[in-house]
Structure 1
Amino acid sequence: MPRFSVIVPAYKVQAYLQDCLESVLGQSYPDLEVLAVDDGSPDACGALVDEFAARDARVRPVHLPENGGVGVARNAGIEHATGDYLVFVDGDDTLAPDALRAIADRIKEAGDPDVVVYDHAHALWTGETIRSPFLHQLTEQGPVPFRLDDRPLLLKLPLVAWNKAYRREFVEREGLTFAPGAHTDTSWTVPALLAAGSVATLDRVCVHHRRRRQLTGAPTGEGHFDIHEQYDRVFAFVDARPELAHWRPVLFRRMVDQLVSVLARPDRLPRTARAEFLRRSRAHYRRYRTPGAAVPLHARLRHLLVRTGSYRTYRTVLLASALRRHTTRLVKSLARSVRSASLRLHYGVQRRLPLRADRAVFTSHSGRGYGCNPGALEAAFRSFVPGMRTAWVARPEHHHTLPTATARVRPGTAAYWTALARSKYLVNNASWDEKFVKRAGQVVIQTQAGTPLKRMGLDLQDRPAAARDTDFTALLADVDTWDHCLSANRHSTLVWERVLPGGYTTLETGQPRNDVFQQATSADVTRLRESLGIPEGSVAILYAPTQRDYLRGPRHTLDLERVLRQLGPRYVLLARAHHLYDAPLTPASGGRLIDVTDHPSIESLCLASDALVTDYSSLMFDYANLDRPIVIHSDDWEAYEAARGTYFDLRTFPPGAFARSEDELIDIFATGHWRGSRSAQLRGAFRERFCQYDDGRAAERVVQRLVLGRTAGRTAVTPLGDRHPAPSAAATLAGAPLASVPHPQSSTDGTPVPTCS
């Protein structure tokens, strides 16, 4: 008897069915059977089902003589199922990697509950993946298992069958079956949740639900009228069980919401059918309304429309709503125009007032939080220049990262334009507002954001995938405002002066953001590790890939959970997505796989880790200053080189071991090659070439030269051999066999140091 019976109905999904079945059969949890149900599909679905059955004995084909709909197909799968749990996957959807293993683990933890509810993501036809907005409902905190009465908000989740696993004995005992019709999931899901004696949730994306551009064979028009019959079945189930009577008001409100949702979708219900749909909805409203049940204020208009059942009233409300939106847009547009004109006038007046020599304004990555090279310089300005007053430009959601001694400025406000007009020093690692006008006497310092491996600036003119909508004229106009450009090394100098040509002066000072690597102590490392929850005695690997210009979203190249399983319990992964992506790299944080995407300081993460795994990120140049192991994972070098291009072949001059696949990466760590003598030699050569100025005093050198006018003496560069970067927690283990790794000292966090991705 398998643990899972995965039921896959297939009708007109021949283009997607192969991906679906491969995602199921490729699961790392192999104890399953697949009931692939050909629902009388006129295309090649039946043949594909038979092909998979011939290749894999776990696939059991079921052919229906005619199309009966997804509910009928699922029922046929249930009849043939022998597994402990039923899992439904539509023929055009896919299971996420390791989904069944995660579900199986959760079932074991919860003591074989009747239903397990897990998360999903929408896979759009554009290639984007969007996680569902119901994450907070699936928290795994609290008693497990539970009944629906303990977590009633689960009914707010989509009423679908494919985001849950059902214990087969429970389904058979309750006599649960799918009804025919377009909305069959409603009359299955609600009874299943209400009847379940035990429920558990799993805060992890297990299903990628495909949102196709056009749904071939999808119900339209009259097909959506069956929603009324589905709710007849739901309320009949409740009425047959007196102990469920208290759910009627909740289900009544859920019904009204769903009826209005169907009515409002022109792709579901054509205009000619809406009046009749509304009349039937009115009858259901009156039939199932519970006297005395309160209707939330925000839902009263919806209830009023369904209760009256007047399509003319509905049309009037739609027109009034459209008029209100149009008027609101017009008023907002007018307000924006007035505000913009006022700010232009304000900025013009401020530019005619004297500059303030004791003022400096900073920002990083177009308004993100405090950090990177501007953050390190802001701290140095305050430390080395008595009386200097600094301001930081950041969006409100990042203000919590700013030091209390620094003024907080929101982009686009009057204070912002005052700071740009009156401050003598302007420090940025990106570009200022296109309306910025540089004044005589102002000093614009461009810090850059790392050493360039990937092509930048004018070198992107023949790289449309990477350049996208870059305005090169505007780019060069911004370069023309620079007075100084910081450089980390000679390589950076040669690149910046060619791809960003201008009249500025290049300062080979090193990267100010890397000063902390030489200034931090073992105690700082200990505090950082404790704050991140890194277990004592663990080897912490920081995984920080860069963006892919040829993709719309993040590229998940590694199965991080598999990597951890292969490496064993001594390893911890700190996973950090690139700052241009909102989505984290991990489905859930905690344990040995910790999502640090939102951590305010990449430098703190570097200090807390024992090794770095990256691909083409400039972080490798910074991390090399710590003299800790670096492993490059590059499984798409040719694609990346074609789309973006690099300034040297990382394969022939890496900062450490080089992995071309996930298995190679695992082998590098399992064998100890990641910190072996060859890796140390490669890192040494890499440091000689790229870390020549990062001695912990880069920020001081910038301030001494550009603000205090001193050019020599106190800020001479310390040679590489005389530097002592903060040691890692596992520094004493270098060269030791992995199996004999002793426990390092315990660890912690302190105040976040400047950050940059």
Structure 2
Amino acid sequence: MKKHLMIIVKYFKTLYKIYYWIGSFTINILKFFVKPNDNLILFISFGGKKFDDSPKDIYEDMIKDNRFDGYDFVWAFQNTESFKIPRGRIIKTDTYKYYITALKARCWITNSAVERGLNFKGRNTFYFNTWHGTPIKKMGEDIANTSKSFGMNRKWDVDLMTSQSKYEADIFARVFNINRENFMICGLPRNDVLADRTVETKQSMMKKIGLPLGKKVILYAPTFREYERDDGFNCVIAPPIGFDKWKKKIGDKYVILLRAHYEVAKILNVKADDGFVYNVSDYPVLNDLMLASDMLISDYSSIFFDYSILDRPMFCYTYDYDEYAEKRGMYFDIRTELLGSSFDEEELLVLINSLNYDKALKKVRSFRIKYVQSYGNATKISLDTIFKKIKLN
């Protein structure tokens, strides 16, 4: 019930405005009665859905760093019973305790937002945001009013946000109304491991996931379409794919890792096949899947930017490009940047079977130079910066 209510509030503008103004006003009054705690650091990833991504990488290094000895680390989750974390403690999102903790915290570390769709910040809080990807699809204030996605025209009170490139920082500064000088182009902490990949790492991840070592691995990772929902407002996706056909055409050489976006509740018309298609949508660590794979197929997902660090072939399969461009909007045409385009699956399979590896890598490297200017050392830079900032006062 709560999940459905949150979806309704998120996607119906009038209800969201009521929630936003009343909730923001209440919490901003409350903060004057809450004493800040200089040793409290609050972490939240994907709005409390997961224990992963850049906040997790920062956390795992932070608890081993003696500069942060004595700090109270708190993670916020939507389902607290589903997670266990080393050293720190856990609280539930969207509770009175959550908002009090957020108001007390000296530092917020997130890859999305802490405010739960509202507008507030603790009196002595340093807000560190890594975000969770580089934009292809339009975001924030760039989203048209006719889109199913929308956001309030407000200034995000972020003190520092990491980014992978000038392209990314320029867009986020505008669409989230964050001062441009508040961006640090150092890469994303979650991607440091991708820069350190080895043959041994790849084989280790294949074994961990349970893949046959004698096959090449295709990671198929489509993003969600917020305008495609079932009667319960759950996000669904129905790619025009028949994996039986894929198995006949490429099954002697390849296996498929199917990874749907975390917003997707159901994948329609697609069945996992034991030994060929592995549905890894619920697998907890996306980096493991990227490291285990030999190539990527996606559409409008920011995974392209991260995967380019691996220096492996990438294909775009944008079967619904015109519809997606109209309903969501894009910053550039991904079809001009990588191999593939608005193919049907027959053409895509031909492209895979006749892969010109050198041509594919040339495209990937050009893409990376353009959109991923910094990577490999973001976690250390983040920790050094956070420590310096929270020790200023």
Interval of TM-score (by shorter of Structure 1 and Structure 2): 0.7 to 0.9
Query: What is the aligned residue count?
Result: 354
Give the Cα separation in 2 of the matches to 1:454 and 1:435: 23
Give the Cα separation in 1 of the matches to 2:354 and 2:383: 46
Shift of 1:589: 5.1
Please give the secondary structure, in 2, of the residue aligned with 1:366. Answer: helix
Pairing of 1:169-568 with structure 2 (within 5 A): 348=30, 351-353=33-35, 355-384=36-65, 385-387=67-69, 388-396=71-79, 399-400=82-83, 402-431=84-113, 432-434=115-117, 437-462=120-145, 464-467=146-149, 470-473=150-153, 476=154, 479=156, 481-503=157-179, 505-552=182-229, 553-568=236-251
Shift of 1:369: 1.1
Task: Indicate the residue corresponding to 1:602 in structure 2.
Answer: 286
1:638 matched to 2:325? The reply is no
> Percent identity at matched positions?
24
Please give the secondary structure, in 1, of the residue aligned with 2:43. Answer: strand
Give the Cα separation in 2 of the matches to 1:591 and 1:532: 12
Give the Cα separation in 2 of the matches to 1:374 and 1:457: 22
State which structure, 1 or 2, has the greater radius of gyration over its C-alpha atoms: 1
Shift of 1:570: 2.2
Please give the secondary structure, in 2, of the residue aligned with 1:541. Answer: strand
Which digits, 9 at most, give the CA deviation of each residue in 1:654-712, with x for residues without a partner?
2x444612011100111123xx21111111111111221112x11211221232359xx
The one of 295, 300, 309 aligned to 1:616: 300
1:487–1:509 Cα contact (<8 Å) kept: yes
2:80–2:91 Cα contact (<8 Å) kept: no
Give the Cα separation in 1 of the matches to 2:293 and 2:128: 31
1:578 matched to 2:258? The reply is no
Structure 2's unaligned 5+ residue stretches are 1-22, 230-235
Give the Cα separation in 1 of the matches to 2:308 and 2:92: 35
2:139–2:175 Cα contact (<8 Å) kept: yes
Give the Cα separation in 2 of the matches to 1:536 and 1:502: 46
Give the Cα separation in 2 of the matches to 1:496 and 1:677: 33
Give, as a single letter, the amino acid of the residue that structure 2 aligns with 1:518: A
Shift of 1:593: 0.8
Task: Indicate the residue corresponding to 1:255 in structure 2.
Answer: none
Task: Indicate the residue corresponding to 1:665 in structure 2.
Answer: 348
Give the Cα separation in 2 of the matches to 1:351 and 1:486: 32
1:374–1:429 Cα contact (<8 Å) kept: yes
TM-score by length of 2: 0.83
1:350–1:421 Cα contact (<8 Å) kept: no
The one of 374, 380, 383 aligned to 1:700: 380
Please give the secondary structure, in 1, of the residue aligned with 2:252. Answer: coil
Give the Cα separation in 2 of the matches to 1:435 and 1:452: 22
Which digits, 9 at most, give the CA deviation of each residue in 1:513-547, with x for residues without a partner?
11111245444332321122211211111100011
Give, as a single letter, the amino acid of the residue that structure 1 aligns with 2:132: A
Give the Cα separation in 1 of the matches to 2:50 and 2:358: 39
Give the Cα separation in 2 of the matches to 1:437 and 1:568: 52
Give, as a single letter, the amino acid of the residue that structure 1 aligns with 2:324: Y
Give the Cα separation in 2 of the matches to 1:644 and 1:667: 29
Task: Indicate the residue corresponding to 2:369 in structure 1.
Answer: 688
RMSD: 2.5
Please give the secondary structure, in 2, of the residue aligned with 1:392. Answer: strand
Q: Tell me: higher relative CO, structure 1 or 2? Use CA pairs within 8 A at least 6 residues apart.
A: 2
Give, as a single letter, the amino acid of the residue that structure 2 aligns with 1:404: P
Shift of 1:405: 2.2
Q: 1:435 to 1:683 in 2, by over 3 A?
A: closer
Please give the secondary structure, in 2, of the residue aligned with 1:707. Answer: helix
Pairing of 1:89-168 with structure 2 (within 5 A): none
Structure 1's unaligned 5+ residue stretches are 1-340, 711-757
Task: Indicate the residue corresponding to 2:6 in structure 1.
Answer: none
Q: 1:446 to 1:535 in 2, by over 3 A?
A: same
Please give the secondary structure, in 1, of the residue aligned with 2:224. Answer: coil
Please give the secondary structure, in 2, of the residue aligned with 1:465. Answer: coil
TM-score by length of 1: 0.44
1:382–1:389 Cα contact (<8 Å) kept: no
Give the Cα separation in 2 of the matches to 1:664 and 1:615: 15
Give, as a single letter, the amino acid of the residue that structure 2 aligns with 1:557: P
Which digits, 9 at most, give the CA deviation of each residue in 1:95-153, with x for residues without a partner?
xxxxxxxxxxxxxxxxxxxxxxxxxxxxxxxxxxxxxxxxxxxxxxxxxxxxxxxxxxx
Task: Indicate the residue corresponding to 1:647 in structure 2.
Answer: 331
2:217–2:292 Cα contact (<8 Å) kept: yes
1:364–1:430 Cα contact (<8 Å) kept: yes
Give the Cα separation in 1 of the matches to 2:119 and 2:74: 17
Q: 1:628 to 1:406 in 2, by over 3 A?
A: farther
